[in-house]
Structure 1
């Protein structure tokens, strides 16, 4: 099978980028020929505002390049991982013009929400969810805190709704969780075209010992990740168990200050994946305090792979991944007191925490290995090609 994988990479690489690259590597390891068409947001500063806005809605460059490629080379399928902002939905039209089926993975909520997160001013926001034209996003300057930039994203969403792009130009959408699938259906995407396939971890990093006697946070240091809840909890918990924080982002200064002020809090900055795995494997548990609708939560299944339970906010997709009292614990989102209570329960129940380590690893082996994911992905691809 020959596949074209389409990627628009972010300036800050994170879980989405890692998942995209892992999928390409997996397909190649299984003997498929995977070509990659990619753009990177590093190119944005070279474009004028008008050119960038125009390209976000419809990239003539992408359309022409890919139409020529499809003329010269035969592909069984085009899998779009991310088209925003430089590739644009014109990628779908280039493929469909040559009769090539299109699969789109939904790694964020960009088709429904201008900032792609359903999150504004520290809280979940669904103001644009069922709006044909997501004007509230423009009013609140939700994308990059700019009304002009948000207007561009809103134009892209609205124009392609009006053209029927989201309904007619994509053969199958892949949502990462059932929670995310239901949000996309609520937002108007055709239910019959959305299937669920989670992310995976490849290669398998193997079990950890869990002997580090610390809690761990891994993620982007940004408001939607629930860091205020985490730090409030550790004002009380710092003398009971240390907290290591791995990551970087706009709240880095706040985390640096907290690490000097709060006992037990240590900020390690950004770390290579190998070191993240080491830290995950030795942690007593991972804390996942997000206050937005995560579409997945890759670090949670990385923790499961290491046999590490997850204490997670009961919100969005992460609430679907963690089973309370089996693979971890859940707390009320944005409620630092409930987070504190769950951590204290874990610390006072070492036997149950040890059993959760076994269950977390079992969950990984049952759902999130490369082989399991490959079987699901091939099923999706074969169905799409057969139907076409």
Structure 2
């Protein structure tokens, strides 16, 4: 089969790309051919089909113009893409596609391509990596707090609350996008929606989003490459955070907790809008035990995970899954995680790691203290974590799950 794999990037861009990379290998190892459909970008991996990719859209540059015309351009491009439909039609004229597997396409490729796929009677599955279809903000975070006010299709609340960037125009654009996609019935064209965690599956069900088409299926992760990755070891002992430096990732809570542990080294991998604020916080509080390492490629990240005592995941939003947790566990590392979203599905308290009350730096500090100097506990939880992750994210299980939806696979 020729399988169209659509995603907004064709380069490492986060957890979505980790899945794209793994499911591509999975399809190909089972005799299928992956045909990417994405957006032009200098960082993209080379592809024989890149001539069909849509032109690059830089929303950040458009938003910085602060003009009404730029705002309308952002609004129109994020909702409907004639270009994406045109290029996809061109691709489909040249290549026979037997299955379309969509991933993150909102705002860039847009759900408008579903019309094209439906017209050609191509089966469609869509892996839901975020909550955009039911939450205009995509994260259920409004003004730094969990919010479900748009439940029941009440997307106007995103405007009233200024959920997007605490600004009226982006919030208006986001809410309008959700309304138009619902009104035009794009989601009706999808055969199956795949939720990567039980939590996200239940949340979509709570919002009455195509209950009969929703299916829970944990991601595939080919961990042989991960486990066999070479490492440069040192004698330094430290705990690790890997992720975007944004408010929803809870790094500020982690830094507050680390103020209670000046003798424990914390290494932070990642970048984001909060980076300078977080660095300022550590400087003002004399926290010489914190190292900001910036963004690293996956092999460098793996090296740091291998050397660490354990990983900390202090997220403060409804994590859909959390691939960094998965990678740490596959390396036999326990994880201290916040009790929110899908995190408790991987971090099982006192079995594969430790859970702390979300946003509670005192509880987090106590859990760090409990685990850091207890090597027998670290080893025990780490062994359990490796087994648990290996079972949950087994590629064979993932493919069998896909075959139940698409028997022709």
- Return the TM-score normalized by structure 1: 0.91
Please list the CA deviations of residues 86-144 of structure 1 after superposition, one character each: whole Å capped at 9, or x if unmatched: 2111111111111111111100110111110001222211111x142411211233224
Whether the aligned pair in 2 keeps the contact of 1:11 and 1:40 (CA below 8 Å) is: no
- Specify which of 67, 77, 95 is matched with residue 73 of structure 1: 95
Partners of 2:322 and 2:352 in 1: how far apart? Answer: 14
Residue 30 of structure 1: CA displacement?
Answer: 3.3
Residue 27 of structure 1: CA displacement?
Answer: 1.9
Corresponding residue for residue 58 of structure 2: 44
Does the C-alpha gap of structure 1 residues 164 and 43 become closer, same or farther in structure 2, counting only changes over 3 Å?
A: closer
Whether the aligned pair in 2 keeps the contact of 1:115 and 1:143 (CA below 8 Å) is: yes
Residue 210 of structure 1: CA displacement?
Answer: 11
Partners of 1:319 and 1:203 in 2: how far apart? Answer: 21
Partners of 1:285 and 1:225 in 2: how far apart? Answer: 17
- Specify which of 170, 192, 205 is matched with residue 212 of structure 2: 192
Partners of 2:98 and 2:173 in 1: how far apart? Answer: 33
> In the alignment, is residue 249 of structure 1 matched against residue 272 of structure 2?
yes
Whether the aligned pair in 2 keeps the contact of 1:112 and 1:184 (CA below 8 Å) is: yes
Corresponding residue for residue 202 of structure 2: 182
- Specify which of 260, 273, 279 is matched with residue 236 of structure 1: 260
Whether the aligned pair in 1 keeps the contact of 2:81 and 2:110 (CA below 8 Å) is: yes
Please list the CA deviations of residues 29-63 of structure 1 after superposition, one character each: whole Å capped at 9, or x if unmatched: 43311101102584235875434422322222222
Structure 1 residues not aligned, in runs of 5+: none
CA RMSD of aligned residues (A): 2.4
Partners of 2:90 and 2:309 in 1: how far apart? Answer: 53
Corresponding residue for residue 136 of structure 1: 157
Residue 11 of structure 1: CA displacement?
Answer: 10
Corresponding residue for residue 380 of structure 2: 355
Partners of 2:35 and 2:8 in 1: how far apart? Answer: 14
Equivalent pairs, count: 381
Higher relative contact order (CA 8 A, sep 6+): 1
Whether the aligned pair in 1 keeps the contact of 2:10 and 2:39 (CA below 8 Å) is: no
- Specify which of 79, 90, 96 is matched with residue 57 of structure 1: 79
- Return the TM-score normalized by structure 2: 0.86
Corresponding residue for residue 137 of structure 2: 115
Residue 26 of structure 1: CA displacement?
Answer: 3.0
Partners of 2:389 and 2:234 in 1: how far apart? Answer: 16
Q: Secondary structure at the match of 2:149?
A: coil
